[in-house]
Amino acid sequence: MDRTERLNIPETELFHPGHYACQGCGAPIVTRYMMKALGKKTIIVIPACCWSVIQGPYPYSTLKVSVVHTAFETAASTASGIRSALKTQGRNDIHVVALAGDGGTFDIGLQALSGAAERNDNIIYVCYDNEAYMNTGIQRSSSTPFGAWTTTTPGSHYKDRPKKDIIQIMAAHRIPYAATGSVAYPEDLYKKFKKASTMTGLRFFHIFSPCPPGWKSATDDSIKIARYATWSKIYPLYEVFDGERFIVTKPEKEIPVSDYFSIQKRFSNLSEHDTAFIQQMVDERWMSLLKLSGSSPEK
């Protein structure tokens, strides 16, 4: 982007500076743009995750809205309970958001999330995905991608299973809206949150959020890494409406997965054969996604 270009996003801030996130963390960026779209009438539920540190210790807070901290597995069920309480009070003008990492979404909180999705509870669930349990020591999660180093998949014993496809899981619940987002594309992120804010029922966001300590990357490369993830199609941007209608945003540039891997040391153990295998998996998934959306491979 031209550095003189201005983003079409409101300047209003509902997020104080001076937070506790690591340098280069994507999670604060996710929340900052989310809050610009949803506004002050929002209650945020945070389970155990990096954001429970970023938000700050009581009575201090980096957020200018009400926050409820809850147990690791209960982000969705707590948000559902708050929504029910608001409904009994006739308060339908408040957004209830569950904000969780990939561990609390893909693994530990999946049961509560599935229950809320099956009931189509009127909440927004946001998963900022840094692809491992980062604030407890960089352990593998089911969101960790094939080939990645973590402290529980060290050295040549990298993760040899594919990342769980959380959007397909949520789409199978036939919820009104599911979308991917990236910190590298703030306007896309802002517009998707604005769109979701006009809907009712369970709306789900899966947002790509780089983690320099866990990915062994430079702190000032986070946005570049997120952009490369979309350009390489490892992390496509798309939306799913009612579990059936797919809209895919084709990247403005295409690069091989090796370019994405080259700026993170967590993939440094991969051989050329491994990289070729991952490229094949990424290409096949991209073609499957295009087929679901009724799009052609050409731009």
* Radius of gyration of the CA atoms of the chain, in A: 18
Query: Residue 4 — pLDDT band, cuts 50, 70, 90?
Result: low
Q: Is the pLDDT of residue 154 over 80?
A: yes
Nearby residues of 84 by Cβ (< 8 Å), 6 or more positions away = none
CA–CA gap between residue 33 and residue 68 (Å, rounded): 20
Average pLDDT on 144-169 reads: 95
At 119 the pLDDT is 98
Closest CA to 175 of 150, 141, 202: 202
Closest CA to 266 of 214, 200, 201, 222: 214
In three-state secondary structure terms, 238 is: strand
Query: Residue 3 — pLDDT band, cuts 50, 70, 90?
Result: low
At 5 the pLDDT is 60
CA–CA gap between residue 28 and residue 25 (Å, rounded): 7
Nearby residues of 279 by Cβ (< 8 Å), 6 or more positions away = 256, 257, 258
pLDDT cut 70: percent of the chain above it: 97
pTM summary value: 0.95
Describe the strand order of the beta sheet including 66-69 as a list of residue ranges. 66-69, 42-46, 95-101, 124-129, 203-208, 177-182, 237-241, 245-249
